[in-house]
Structure 1
Amino acid sequence: MPDTYDKRCQLGASRRRFEDAMALHSCKRWWGAVYIGGYAIECSLKSLICYDEHKSNFKETSAFKKGLQGASLHNLAMLLSKTDLQRTIELDRTGKLKDTWNTIASVWISDELRYSDKLGEELDSTKFIEAVKTWHQLLLSKQGVAS
């Protein structure tokens, strides 16, 4: 079993979860697409934090050492705060990065996604998946890799 904290594992997982989210969305599994899409962002943020700190494992990062552990590892806002992307958002004159981040952060925090027996709504899933596409591409490009 690979070390799930390894940067390469997180990067690979981000790509596979993105693909999974797209597949679920195309199968009209709206909430599943959103849930898995959020994981794609979570994993790509963790790999970016490793990349920025020149670490091969998330456990070696200052974020982890300063307490970003346990349930907080799934908190996208906390993960984002450990990167320099807030400045990128502020410099985006189109507002697209801010809008798409707000879509991701506001929807993915809900426990309803994890435990719901509902399918969700197509419009919500479509908006979320489009936001995930934008951010996944950005997060991977910041690491010098293609999405």
Structure 2
Amino acid sequence: MPTRNELKELAKLRLEEAETLFNAGLYDGTVYICGYVIEFALKARICKLLDTNEYPSSGKLKSAYAVHDFEQLLLLSGLQKKISLAHADLHTNWSIIIPWSPEMRYQPKGTISKNKAEEILDAVRDKPNGVYRWIMKYW
């Protein structure tokens, strides 16, 4: 399983990949990869909260931690109350990314418009109220 530092690096790398895909006009891939930016960032935060180096997604804990659902990961990360107290722009950005699912990989080409991909990418990377930028404060 990935370590906390590997999850941080993967989140950063996935954001770079999402930006590259967007610039290449590959909007479906942009949105799909953006989801993993948030997932990896939340999982890095969970490692910090649990004071463990590796993310606990195997063995007896697999059913609790091997998830992709942002709401569940937010709860596991201990950030649910903090996000409720955060800036309104962060709430807006969170609501934009919440519909993400790894099942998006099965969507046909052209499902996501340029405008929608840009909205989601901005919700992830916006400074200071992008979801990824916000999670970084706590990981």
TM-score, normalization: structure 2?
A: 0.85
Structure 1: unaligned runs, 5 residues or longer:
none
Q: Runs (4+) of structure 1 moved beyond 3 Å?
A: none
Where do residues 60-71 of structure 1 align in structure 2 (5 Å cutoff)?
65=61, 67-70=63-66
1:128 and 2:120 correspond: yes
Which residue of 71, 89, 97 maps to 1:104? 97
Q: Is the 8 A contact 1:49 1:82 kept in 2?
A: yes
Q: Is the 8 A contact 2:68 2:102 kept in 1?
A: no
1:117 and 2:108 correspond: yes
**1:84 positional shift:** 2.6
Where do residues 1-147 of structure 1 align in structure 2 (5 Å cutoff)?
4-59=1-56, 65=61, 67-70=63-66, 73-92=67-86, 94-106=87-99, 108-109=100-101, 111=103, 113-119=104-110, 120-133=112-125, 134-143=130-139
Q: Is the 8 A contact 1:101 1:135 kept in 2?
A: yes
How many correspondences in the alignment? 133
User: Matched residues, percent identical?
Assistant: 25
CA RMSD of aligned residues (A): 2.1
Structure 2: unaligned runs, 5 residues or longer:
none
TM-score, normalization: structure 1?
A: 0.81
